Each structure stands twice: as structure tokens, then as C-alpha cells.
Structure 1
Amino acid sequence: MNGKDTFPMRKLMSSMMLAVTLITIAGCGSRVDGRATAGEIDVRQLDVGQYPTRPLSEYSEFNHSFKAGRTLASMRLADNLVLGHEVDPKLTFGSFQSVDSDTPLVMSKAVHPALKPNHMLYGFATGNSDIKEFSSMSLAPGDETLADLMRSRKPTYFGLTVMQFPDAGTAERAALEIEQLDYDVAPEQNVRVPIANYPTAHSHWRPGIASMVATLAHGSYVLNVQAGVPEPEANKLTDFIQKVFDAQLPRLDKLTPLSPVEVVKMKSDPEQVLDRTLNPQKLGSPDPINFASYGLQGFLHTRRDLLGKQDLYTKVGADQFGQSWGSYTVRTRDYAAAQTLLDGIFAGDAYKPADAPAKLPAARCTENKDPQGDIKRFSCAVQYRRYVAYVQSHQLTDAHQRAAAQYAIFANSQ
């Protein structure tokens, strides 16, 4: 090497070393919130108000316990319970309740003594009716005035509660005790009635009252059905209950029972949909309404106002739903399916268009024509890859900020 080559070569080597150093510094120990990848926006520029923009797992850790596990197991069960319209197309209105304690509100106090001694692990209850204002959950035993008022509307309905016990023997004993305790509330009025295709079912009714109760042990599960029809006809009631059993038992046959240890080890967010969902409260304790992960079946049990979207959800391959304090995330088959869901989620007479948030590439907003209960005035949906989430608020600006924060969480979850 001669003297003429030395300086250019040193200059080239110094430039290469500097480039390597800069790459190393950029790749180690540095993190930029919301840095956009190709084709994505920089979420740091979005108006998110005071809402969090990071996944929940970065600031909250789930602690396993039997109490939390019971709630999670009840959600798993919800994904395997029949919806009312699958038994009778008229039964499109409903309610639900997690059975994650030894004294569930959905069960009569009279039968509670059959639950804890038999080590009931968890359960789920779903109510189904052809009348929007009627709820089978409101027919509390002992409150005859309310029950008579509700039945005066002549509804067709059934309430289904499914509980899991440690084994088949314990489940059979619990079913017998539940039946006997309920029968003994008014033994002089109740009459036992057989269910034709289910000889091991225990059932009774009060002649002249248009309702009937049946309890059936099926493996480790116990099914308790309260059914009603417009007129007090025993044959129609037993046929109705038989249809409920016919629809429900095949689903339970596919659901492996859990041991107490498996209940404790239940994961709170196995598909990581809740981690991708806006959590304004920053609370991560399992809750069947406010912080829950469901498949399509379980989600529809908890959101009957969206039952009309079932065909759309099926079309786009929606298989996971995260509910997080008023925010909802849906995982679809792929990016194209998510686009289809975004375009169709606010279709229908119940909605009218509202301005979408500024700067969000894939967002839709609507004004709900009939806001009531859990449905607020404004809703916004936002898409990110195969996910669609929707948020809601009574103020459009707040709905926009929630949608922007949701998009940021999507981006920061990758």
C-alpha cells in the first residue's frame, strides 16, 4: 500500500465504523412509542385524551386464584351454551349471569344447600325470551307477586343454568338434591312430571301455572331449566324442556370438565385479545361483563343487542371477542375480513352516520338512534390488520379519543 491510498482507506473505514455504531445505538436500549411501520400512521400524533395507549400487560399482571378461575371457567362454559333462538327462533331476547360463587343469585336460595357441600366448581346461566321486557332471571322463587306479573305477559321463555361438579356421581347427587329442595318449597302444590326422552331428569310443576322446572345430571354437569309457555299446558312444557336438552347436551359432550387445579390455572387472556383492547379503567380482574374474553357463542350470550350481527361475524370468521370496560375487540379471519366487518358493523336502521376521528386511516363512527342501558349515543369502530374494535361514549369527541387510543394500543401490541 502506498502513501496515496492510506487517507482514503482510513476515511472509508471510519465511515463504516460510524455507521455500525449508529445502528447499534438505534437497536439497543432505545424504544419509541408508536413508531409507524411502512403504511402505518405515527400514533404519537393522535389525540387520545387521557386514555392509555399501551397494552394492559405492560402495567398489570394477572394473579391466579380459585375465585378468578371460577369466573374464567364460567366464560369458557358460556362459549358452549345454547342461545335461545337455536331452540326456538322467537327467543331472541336474553340475559345472562356467571355462576362463580356458592350462592348464585340466579338460583333459588332454597337450593343453595345443594351446591357448596357437593363442591360446585362454576357455572353459567342464560335467559331466553320472545318478549324484550321479560327476563327469566327475574322470576325469583318466593316473590310470587313479581312472578305472576311477569307471567301475565304470556311469554315463551327458558332459563338455563349449567354447573360443573367434580365428577358424575357428585353431579347426580347434586341434581337430586336441587330437585328435592325446590320441590319442597311447596310440596302440597308441586307435581312431578317425567321428560319423555330423559328418564333420569327430575322435573315438577304446579298445575295451573304456565312454567316447569327440570334438573338433569349429564356427566360432571348439572343442567337446571326453568321453562314457560303462554298457557299452563304440561305437554307443551315437557316438549319445550326436551328441546332445550336436545340442543344443549351435544355441546357439553364436546367440553372437557375441569379439575379444581385446572380452574385455578385458567388463563385470563389466552388469545391476547384483551391485551389489545382499550382498558380505560386499567383494571384486569376477570369479570363476565367488564373484562372478559369469549368466542362468538359466549359473546352473543352477553351482547344480545348484537345478535343481528351473527351472520356478519360468521362471514368474517370472527372467533375471539374481548370486552374491556365498554370497549370491544373482534379478531377476524384476516385483513380483508376485518375490512368487511368495519364496513358492516354499523349497517342498519338503528344507526345514522357521525364524523370519524381525524387521522385514523380505517375508522367509522355512528350515532345510535336509541341509546339506552349499555348503549351510548356515539360509537366508533377502528380496524388494525385482522382486528376491529369499537368504543362508545355519549360525547363524540370522547368517542374519537377512545378510538384513537384503541388504534394506538393495536399498534403498540405488535
Structure 2
Amino acid sequence: MTKSMIGRARWRALVPIAVLLTATGCVVQGNPIPDYGDPAELPVGAYSVEPLAAPAGDVEHGRVLESARMADAIVDPVEVDPGLQFAANTYGVTPLPTPGKVRMLLAEPVRAVLEREGMVAGCASNGADRDFGSKRPGVGAAQVLTVIALRFPDAAAAARAARDIDAVDAAVSTENAALSITEYPGAYAHWRPGVPSMAATVADGVFVVTLLIGHTAADTVAMTTLARKTFDAQLPRLREFEPTPVDRLSALPLDPEGMIGRMVPPAPGRWLYPAVVSSTGARTAGWDARIMSVGLVFGRRGAQLWGNRSTVFDEVELIAVNVLNTLYRYPSAVVARRAFLFASQRDAAGTGARIVDAPNDIPDIHCVEDQSRTGDTPRFTCRVQHGRYYAIVVSREEPAVLEKAAAQYGLLINSV
């Protein structure tokens, strides 16, 4: 038997005792116990296989968590127009906890309005009718819709914010002209005549909804119709949402479902606090801003949006995100295993793929190097599955990704 075969045998779950003894004519009742080995023997380097305890939160982190909660209340553009089935940005859902993050999607002067009116939290979704891959659609290249929902302390603040968001954005160019949406007389909208894009904003209770709409032709009827349909879908969703009282934001738990504690931390022993980070300062009506989530957990709806409507996410219950490192929880181990095997086989068949031996030859870990990747993009990916959890860890270096994968496997074993 080869070393690899010995390793795989050591980590393979035990065959049920009843089945073995049936072959010899005897049956012993009882529940078989899988043998996953000793997590303490995993080659984890400086990482631990013991889950970290979640620390207490504060208002700053509470705003990030509340913004992630709003993913359950944000409309998916494909619900408004089935053709908007592709991502118009890096991720299909973007928590927006501060005015500074919102300005990545709107004009820079809008930031002062949001700060003045005490913006509490926010979230955005996006969709396009064409798949641009890693590129971002330019104005006129596709039909594009970005939906931004922002929360304010009260209805009066929201009303003032909606009015001034439109005003300062329209003032960026003297060529901008007002538009009206007949069904929403309280909404504000503008466009630059001849340019196939527009913005529309409306207040509803403590919320403000701002839309960024792009079209392939300078067709104001088509664009204002899309705005009306989006408001029709979005406003009822927000009315059903139960916002966390402002004075309770600091009490929001950092890890109520134990998902973050099950993830490999960014550094040994360091808790993964919730945050939203950007990797670019570019702004083209929000369609080329790259804003990424860290230390956040999305429910079923948020996971679908985050995964850009991929069918892989159809059965996901929860997803914990640390940029490209992710942890999925499925309703059962069978479903999690299916997702793990599908992704692993896809990786192995990829162009430039090189299979990397898993730590201790564990069959529940599949690692690959994408040799076609260049620059700062991580070349190494390991997929880890245990029970109803399936995780992805990435790194630019092979030794680092193997340690993370081993630690991730140990964490999942010890978190049951």
C-alpha cells in the first residue's frame, strides 16, 4: 500500500459495524461513529483547530452587521427584469455601513449629505443583461441596474436625504436635466440628455432608495419604466423589514450562528471582525467599484445575491465571507458533499490547474494551483468539507494554503 493510500485509509470514515458483521453472519446493534482522526495531529502551523469565542460588539461593527441584515430586504434586479441575470459588479450584494462606502457608488458630494442626515446603514444589489466577466460595463454597453437602500434615523431625515442626494448628484454636471416618474410624484430623477443612463431617488419612511440605471440607448421611457418597476418591488420589501433600533446596534452579536468561529481567522488567534473594504477608488455610476465583505454572514437570500445567482447557492442556508475565503452551511451533509465534489472536479478540469496534495492526504480536502493566475490574485485554492459545512481557503503560497486548509478541517471537526 502506498503512503497516499495509507493516509486516505486513516482518514476515511469507518464502515458501519453492522455491515461488516453481517458479512460474517453476525449483527451488532448500535450507531457507527466516523473516524476523522485527531485534529491535534493536523499540520496547521501557527493556526489553531479550536474555535475562537466571539468578542462583544460595538456601534461601528453593529452598523456593518445591520447593513448585512438588509441584504434580506434588498430587491434582486432579476425580479424586476428577468434579463438582468448577470453581475454588474464583483459581487451581487454590497453592504454599505458608512457614507464613505456609499460614495463609491454615488457621486462624491453625496457623502456630506449622508453624514449630515445621520445615515445608519445601507445595502446595494446589482444586475446586468450581459456577462462582462471580470470587466465592468461602460455606459451604453448594457442594461444595468444598481439598487441602493439606505436607512436614516427618522422619516424627516430620509426625506431631506432623498431630495439632496438627487440635487448634489445632478449638480455634478450642468448638462443634467430632471426626469419625472408619474407613479412616484415624490421621487427625484435626472439624466444627461443623449447619455443612456439615469438616477432616481425616493424616500419611504426611514429609508431612501436610489437607483442607477443604464441602457443601450438614450431611451427615457424605458429607463423611467424600469425605475418605476424597481420602486414597486423594493419599497414593500423594506416596509416588511424590521430594522434594529439605533440604540441596540452595539448589542448585535458578531457570530450568532457560529459561522465566523468556524472559519480560519485572518491571522492565528485574531477574531475576524465585520468590515466592508474597497480595492479601487474608481467610480463610474457605481458599476466599477469593487467593494468586498469581511467577517459577515449572509442568509439564504443574501447568499444568492452574493454568489451572483449561481445555482451552486440554491440550497445554501448561510454563507460567511472573508473576501475570497468563504464558509457555506447546507441543510445536510449530503448536499454539502455534492457542492464540494462539484467544485473540486471543476477546479481539476480548469486550464492551468495543478492538483496539490492535501494535508495528510485527507479526502475531504481538495487543493489546486491555478497556474494561469498572475499578479496579486491567489493562485492556490483548497476546498474543505465536513458534515454540512463546506469551506474555501485561498493563498498566494502553497505552504500557507495547506496550513489554512488543515486548520479549517480541524475547526469544522471541533465545532460540531
TM-score range with shorter-chain normalisation? Answer: 0.7 to 0.9
Match in the other structure for 1:319: 317
Q: CA separation of 1:97/1:189 partners in 2, compared to 1, >3 Å: closer, same or farther?
A: same
The one-character-per-residue Cα deviations of 1:131-166 (angstroms, maximum 9, x if unpaired) are 346547xxxxxxxxxxxxx42x62322222210112
Q: CA separation of 1:361/1:168 partners in 2, compared to 1, >3 Å: closer, same or farther?
A: same
Q: CA deviation at 1:221?
A: 1.2
Is 2:165 the counterpart of 1:178? yes
Q: CA separation of 1:249/1:380 partners in 2, compared to 1, >3 Å: closer, same or farther?
A: same
Match in the other structure for 1:257: 243
Q: CA separation of 1:255/1:264 partners in 2, compared to 1, >3 Å: closer, same or farther?
A: same
Cα distance in 1, alignment partners of residues 354 and 99 from structure 2? 46
**Matched residue of 1:75: which SS?**
helix
Is 2:289 the counterpart of 1:287? no
Q: CA separation of 1:54/1:324 partners in 2, compared to 1, >3 Å: closer, same or farther?
A: farther
Match in the other structure for 1:92: 87
Match in the other structure for 2:48: 52
Q: CA separation of 1:39/1:350 partners in 2, compared to 1, >3 Å: closer, same or farther?
A: same
Cα distance in 2, alignment partners of residues 127 and 361 from structure 1? 38
Cα distance in 1, alignment partners of residues 273 and 197 from structure 2? 37
Q: CA separation of 1:388/1:73 partners in 2, compared to 1, >3 Å: closer, same or farther?
A: same
Q: CA separation of 1:271/1:109 partners in 2, compared to 1, >3 Å: closer, same or farther?
A: same
Match in the other structure for 1:200: 186
Q: Return the TM-score normalized by structure 1.
A: 0.76
Match in the other structure for 2:109: 110
Match in the other structure for 2:66: 73
Match in the other structure for 2:279: none
Q: Is the contact between residue 52 and residue 280 of structure 1 (CA under 8 Å) also seen in structure 2? A: no
Is 2:59 the counterpart of 1:63? no
In the alignment of these two chains, the number of paired residues is: 354
The one-character-per-residue Cα deviations of 1:183-238 (angstroms, maximum 9, x if unpaired) are 3344x533222224333321111211111110011232111111111221111211
Q: CA deviation at 1:253?
A: 3.2
Deviates more, 1:221-230 or 1:373-382: 373-382
Q: CA separation of 1:134/1:200 partners in 2, compared to 1, >3 Å: closer, same or farther?
A: farther
* Identical-pair percentage: 27
**Matched residue of 2:122: which SS?**
strand
Cα distance in 2, alignment partners of residues 369 and 81 from structure 1? 37
Q: CA deviation at 1:300?
A: 4.8
**Matched residue of 2:344: which SS?**
coil
Q: Return the TM-score normalized by structure 2.
A: 0.76
The one-character-per-residue Cα deviations of 1:309-349 (angstroms, maximum 9, x if unpaired) are x32332xx311111236431111101222211211223446
Q: Name the aligned partner's letter for residue 222 of structure 1.
A: V
Q: Name the aligned partner's letter for residue 149 of structure 2.
A: V
Cα distance in 2, alignment partners of residues 377 and 83 from structure 1? 31
Q: Name the aligned partner's letter for residue 165 of structure 2.
A: I
Q: Name the aligned partner's letter for residue 47 of structure 1.
A: P
Match in the other structure for 1:156: 143
Q: Name the aligned partner's letter for residue 174 of structure 1.
A: A
Give the gaps of 5 or more residues in structure 1: 1-36, 137-149
Cα distance in 1, alignment partners of residues 112 and 400 from structure 2? 48
Q: CA deviation at 1:97?
A: 4.5
Give the gaps of 5 or more residues in structure 2: 1-32, 277-292
Match in the other structure for 2:220: 234
Q: CA deviation at 1:70?
A: 0.9
Match in the other structure for 2:281: none
Q: Name the aligned partner's letter for residue 97 of structure 2.
A: D
Deviates more, 1:165-174 or 1:362-371: 362-371
**Matched residue of 2:338: which SS?**
helix
Q: Is the contact between residue 183 and residue 204 of structure 1 (CA under 8 Å) also seen in structure 2? A: yes
Q: CA separation of 1:232/1:38 partners in 2, compared to 1, >3 Å: closer, same or farther?
A: closer
Q: CA deviation at 1:392?
A: 1.7
Match in the other structure for 1:328: 326
Q: Name the aligned partner's letter for residue 264 of structure 1.
A: S
Q: Is the contact between residue 149 and residue 209 of structure 2 (CA under 8 Å) also seen in structure 1? A: yes
Match in the other structure for 1:141: none
Cα distance in 2, alignment partners of residues 159 and 294 from structure 1? 19
